[in-house]
Amino acid sequence: MKGNVIVGQSGGPTAVINSSLAGVYKTAKDRGFNKVYGMRHGIQGFLDESYIDLSKYIKNNLDIELLKRTPSAFLGSCRFKLPEIHEDREIYEKIFGILNKLEIDSFIYIGGNDSMDTIKKLSDYAVLTGQSQKFVGVPKTIDNDLALTDHTPGFGSAAKYIGTAVKEVIRDGLGLSYKKDIVTIIEIMGRNAGWLTGAAALAKGEDCEGPDLIYLPELPFEVEKFMEKIRALLKKKHSVVVAVSEGIKLPDGRYVCELSAGKGDYVDAFGHKQLSGTADYLAHLVAAEVGCKTRGVEFSTLQRSASHIASRVDINEAFMVGGAAVKAADEGDSGKMVVIDRVSDDPYQCATGIYDVHKIANDEKLVPRNWISKDGTYVTEDFLDYVKPLIQGDYPPVMVDGIPRHLVLK
């Protein structure tokens, strides 16, 4: 008889991280596992023995559908890095003590690079101590910066939201700009990788010119050249829209937002510099130098939690990789991460693959230089060909009293 499965969620929210959770749950049940536990707030909560029996919360297929449409980690997330095994064996003994008590066969962890590090260390410890649990990771990040997988669940929905919202902002500006100039600077997430900022180009189509300029963090941002571009655009049109990554840096390595007085020294609870204010800073700069109306717009947390306009491809793939992780663990894989392989571009087809987490370098996958235009102010058609299949199809929210319904822990 099969034992139990435990699943956890880690890192930043996405619109589809719960679709992966639903995939884990459904596949575990279908494959005859006994109980499916959920860690509260990932491995950090697990260490406090905070976990639930998921069947008490997912009672039927409607709950599964609601879960797939619920943004942010249903189980709660954490940012917690396990120590090296030789540094602190006690913490591992504690984890495995709980795993054995709960009769866990398969440990599934949904998250980004840090989560794959957790999978690696736990599977190593199991091998070192001759224990039989299997550990498999499920990739997740809106940033799309994980290597080895064609793309990551969460990116497609964030890209779809960004493309849609950029298009709506462009229309907003066009409506207002009669005989006066308006420059709108939109700030998009992505500290080092420009995948999300590049997705602003999705607004472009038969009915929209798209943003006028797109600045990714992969290339240095030159303020003077930027101002020249703005001035040139304002000679041709009244409403100019620019998408910039929160992480764009000057050639000397400073973040652009650090130029904004009183913001550069602001550090968040994780010790990261707070990268807000890039759009505001550039908007004020353009207003001061050009003298026209400007607006800074930050998409902020909306871009990662906007389940209400999630991509069907993304939700389905997130579900699929969750299920594939359970299957892999059930078939004996451990210390592995499920990846998405693009089998075909046209028609778009993807399949899951599996990868040894020991081989994952902690490199961030950046937008290749040849997918950025020569002058560094746009993305190329190749970039769009890569992203477009990932935003296709809708997964409309279940609306109750005019507002999307979510599945939540109470």
Catalytic positions are 143
- Please state, as a whole number, how many other Cβ atoms lie within 10 Å of the Cβ of residue 61: 9
C-alpha 187/C-alpha 277 separation (Å) is 8
For residues 125 and 92, the answer to whether their CB atoms sit within 8 Å is yes
Q: Is 161 exposed, middle or buried (0-12, 13-18, 19+ CB in 10 A)?
A: buried
Between 178 and 197, how does the x/- string for binding to its own copies read (CB under 8 A)?
A: xxx---x-------------
CB nearer to its own copies: give 45 or 323.
45
Q: Indicate whether 265 belongs to the interface with its own copies (CB under 8 A).
A: no
Interface region with its own copies, contact rule CB under 8 A, candidates 123-131, 205-213, 327-335, 336-344: 205-213
Q: Which of 85, 174, 227, 259 binds its own copies (CB under 8 A)?
A: 174
Q: Indicate whether 245 belongs to the interface with its own copies (CB under 8 A).
A: no
CB nearer to its own copies: give 16 or 357.
16
Q: Indicate whether 90 belongs to the interface with its own copies (CB under 8 A).
A: no
User: Looking only at residues 99 through 158 of this chain, which bind its own copies when binding is defined by CB under 8 A?
Assistant: none
Q: Max alpha carbon distance in the chain (Å)? A: 75
CB nearer to its own copies: give 126 or 282.
282
Amino acid (one-letter) located at 284? H
User: Which pair of structure tokens corresponds to residue 361?
Assistant: 């370098």
Q: Which of 30, 84, 168, 289 binds its own copies (CB under 8 A)?
A: 168
Q: Indicate whether 269 belongs to the interface with its own copies (CB under 8 A).
A: yes
Q: Is the dihedral of CA 96, 97, 100, 106 positive or negative?
A: negative
Q: Which of 5, 8, 12, 185 binds its own copies (CB under 8 A)?
A: 12
Q: Indicate whether 394 belongs to the interface with its own copies (CB under 8 A).
A: yes
Interface region with its own copies, contact rule CB under 8 A, candidates 27-35, 36-44, 95-103, 318-326: 36-44
CB nearer to its own copies: give 85 or 176.
176
# residues contacting its own copies (CB under 8 A): 82
- Please state, as a whole number, how many other Cβ atoms lie within 10 Å of the Cβ of residue 25: 26
CB nearer to its own copies: give 139 or 173.
173
Helix (H, G, I), strand (E, B) or coil at 262: coil
**Can you give 138-182 as a three-state secondary structure string?**
EECCCCCCCCCCCCCCCHHHHHHHHHHHHHHHHHHHHHHCCCCCE
Least distance to its own copies, CB of residue 77, Å: 5
Q: Indicate whether 322 belongs to the interface with its own copies (CB under 8 A).
A: no
Q: Indicate whether 175 belongs to the interface with its own copies (CB under 8 A).
A: yes
User: Which pair of structure tokens corresponds to residue 378?
Assistant: 């746009």
CB nearer to its own copies: give 202 or 282.
202
Residue 226 Rama label (left phi>0; alpha psi -120 to 50; beta) = alpha
Residue 130 Rama label (left phi>0; alpha psi -120 to 50; beta) = left
Least distance to its own copies, CB of residue 168, Å: 4
